């Protein structure tokens, strides 16, 4: 991101934040409104395809937005973030299959496992800079993927967790019911986005931006850069893991592909599509990516070529993601109209 781009984006996004009074309540109301709209969607349409699309958006959206906390906000380009998506899917699936605990217990336990794993991996990785960070995260991802493939007795190897994930009802919620799964996925998505937005707009979120812009200076104003990076690495892992759990529930299983490097690649791809200078960029990118994937794979088996061309268009043509482009266009338009009135 160039300084100019950063400036233009921050003009729109950040000024409102510091000018405004504290307003977590407003964010909570918006989150609630979005959840209500999503929850009412099944009443407006009976299209299972659309509801499935939203569930997949929830899984990938949480994953991609959490990756943006690292890439866009902190300047940590992780090539291995997908490992936590896979960890979430496998952790949750195995917990349900092997222990038979209630869904919320498995959910919390999987987050706890992710927390510990992310803490250990993060403690090693966040000391490294730029390309070294990227490649060591990738190395850990491959380590976890290889473990999944080779520990056949536990993970099912390359066949994945088969036989379905048992989903005993809890608190009147039955996740084997498609509608219930849809509502829970929407709730997790909205809560996840709300929490990530609070983090991004908090003083800690600004600490991350300072580290991204100038880590050395950040340390000279008393910021423990390593600790801040580790904190966001672990938090991002928890949200990615939640995305993985939604995916495991959706497909009722977990597969090695969930922890393969291509998932991390798709996360980066989604962020490039949607843009990393806006909070909602990765969500827009997720929707675009899934639409592209679904339509192109139906038309041609060479979908990789089409996706490659699209990303080249965004990277070389626009030089930014869709939301970055829209925000920039909006700023320029507002400035032009401002000049005219003055």
**Binding track, positions 217-256, relative to another protein; x by CB under 8 A:** xxxxxxxxx-------------------------------
148 burial (CB, 10 Å; 0-12 / 13-18 / 19+) is: buried
Cα distances from 232 to residues 95, 173, 200, 206, 227, in angstroms, run 26, 32, 10, 12, 9
* Listed residue (90, 103, 107, 101) closest to 154, CA to CA: 90
Q: How far is the CB of 206 from another protein (least distance, A)?
A: 4
Site string for another protein, 9-48 (x = CB under 8 A): xxx--xx-xxxx-xxx------------------------
CB closer to another protein, 181 vs 210: 210
Describe the chain by its helix, strand, coil percentages, rounded to 5: 80, 0, 20
Rounded to 10 deg, the angle between the 261-274 and 130-150 helix axes is 140
- Smallest Cα–Cα separation from 144: which of 74, 189, 90, 197? 90
Stretch that binds another protein, among 97-105, 156-164, 195-203, 265-273 (CB under 8 A): 195-203
Q: Give the whole-angstrom CA distance, residue 26 versus residue 191.
A: 14
Closest to 225 measured CA to CA, from 237, 212, 241: 212
**Which among 255, 223, 213 has a CA at the least distance from the CA of 93?**
255
Identity of the residue, 175 or 235, whose beta carbon is nearer to another protein in the bound complex: 235
At its nearest, how many Å lie between another protein and the CB of residue 299? Answer: 40
Q: How far is the CB of 124 from another protein (least distance, A)?
A: 19
The residue within the footprint of another protein, chosen from 117, 175, 193, 199 (CB under 8 A), is 199
Binding-site member from 198, 257, 297, 303 for another protein (CB under 8 A): 198
Q: How many residues bind another protein (CB under 8 A)?
A: 40
Q: What is the biggest distance separating any 2 CA atoms in the chain, rounded to whole angstroms?
A: 72
Q: Is 158 in the site for another protein (CB under 8 A)?
A: no
**Which chain residues interact with another protein by CB under 8 A?**
1, 3-4, 6-7, 9-11, 14-15, 17-20, 22-24, 198-199, 201-204, 206-207, 209-210, 212-214, 216-225
């Amino acid at each position: 991101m160039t300084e100019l781009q950063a400036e233009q984006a921050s003009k729109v996004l950040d000024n409102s934040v510091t000018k405004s009074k504290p307003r977590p309540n407003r964010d909570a109301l918006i989150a609630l409104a979005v959840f209500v709209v999503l929850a009412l969607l099944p009443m407006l349409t009976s299209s299972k395809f659309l509801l499935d699309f939203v569930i997949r958006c929830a899984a990938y959206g949480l994953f991609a937005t959490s990756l943006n906390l690292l890439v866009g906000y902190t300047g940590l380009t992780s090539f291995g973030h997908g490992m936590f998506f896979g960890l979430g899917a496998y952790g949750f699936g195995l917990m349900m299959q092997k222990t038979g605990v209630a869904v919320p217990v498995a959910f919390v336990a999987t987050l706890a496992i992710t927390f510990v794993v992310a803490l250990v991996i993060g403690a090693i990785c966040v000391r490294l800079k730029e390309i070294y960070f990227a490649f060591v995260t990738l190395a850990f991802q491959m380590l976890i993927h290889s473990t999944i493939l080779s520990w056949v007795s536990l993970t099912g190897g390359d066949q994945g967790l088969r036989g379905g994930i048992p989903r005993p009802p809890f608190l009147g919620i039955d996740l084997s019911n498609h509608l219930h799964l849809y509502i829970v996925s929407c709730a997790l998505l909205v809560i996840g986005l709300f929490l990530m937005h609070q983090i991004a707009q908090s003083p800690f979120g600004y600490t991350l931006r300072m580290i991204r812009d100038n880590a050395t200076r950040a340390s000279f104003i008393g910021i423990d850069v390593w600790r801040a990076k580790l904190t966001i690495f672990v938090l991002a892992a928890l949200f990615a893991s939640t995305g993985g759990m939604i995916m495991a529930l959706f497909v009722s299983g977990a597969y090695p592909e969930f922890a393969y490097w291509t998932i991390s690649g798709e996360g980066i791809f989604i962020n490039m599509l949607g843009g990393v200078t806006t909070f909602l960029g990765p969500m827009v990118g997720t929707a675009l990516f899934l639409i592209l994937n679904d339509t192109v794979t139906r038309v041609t088996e060479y979908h990789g070529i089409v996706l490659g061309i699209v990303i080249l268009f965004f990277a070389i043509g626009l030089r930014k993601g869709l939301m970055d482009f829209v925000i920039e266009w909006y700023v320029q338009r507002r400035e032009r109209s401002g000049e005219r009135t003055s």
